[in-house]
Structure 1
Amino acid sequence: MPEAIPEGDYERGKKIFKQRCLQCHVIDSTATKTGPTLNGLWNRKSGSVPTFDYSAANKSKGVIWNKESLFEYLLNPKKYIPGTKMVFAGLKKAEERADLIKFIEVESQKPPS
């Protein structure tokens, strides 16, 4: 049975994003860094930002990013998508993943600045 996903806290998620994600990802624009933009991520298919050079694994996974898929992915990205270029080891605590997902859910759906 899949692990229950906690509600998540936006402010704690914002802090996690700044500490763990911002060095490789933006969420408030369509620019790419080491990783693809997370703007528009919600309900987007993996490997689909046209200006980013994804691994074949990300392109072929075909996952739609939402609360459930991100919760599993953020636990261990390399296990969820073997062959991904993402170097992030993951977040083991369910609460931290839920917090980060809450922040991403809200911010990724805003128009880019």
Structure 2
Amino acid sequence: MSDRSEAPVVPVGAFEPPYYVAVFTAVRTQDQHGYSETAARMEDLVKDVPGFLGMDYAQTPGGPAITVGYFRDADALTQWRCNAEHRAAQMRGRAQWYQSYTLHVAKVERSNGFARAEDPQSPRAD
């Protein structure tokens, strides 16, 4: 949602299914005035939704931005979709920030993950 150049690259972990994902893929316009502030506000706001599990974000320079939101159940996802501030941001996005976008919502039936254990022999950069 927001520009995350300072954030470490760590994907959201696997959750016990079932849960829901909302995959938002967008191509942005040149006019991004106010986007970063609104995206940061949306990121703070969605965290208050009971059942919000986390979010992943990626963008290729000059390419699409992909945001994946994870929600415990359909009610949590509906609460986010219907939030008045979120709806206003969606309208502004269509009017100003997005050239195009797609939204895919899916129920996750299987989930797993992997994290490499830190090698105790490798030097650490502290």
TM-score, with length taken from structure 2: 0.24
Greater per-residue helix proportion = 1
Larger CA Rg, structure 1 vs 2: 2
TM-score, with length taken from structure 1: 0.26
Greater per-residue strand proportion = 2
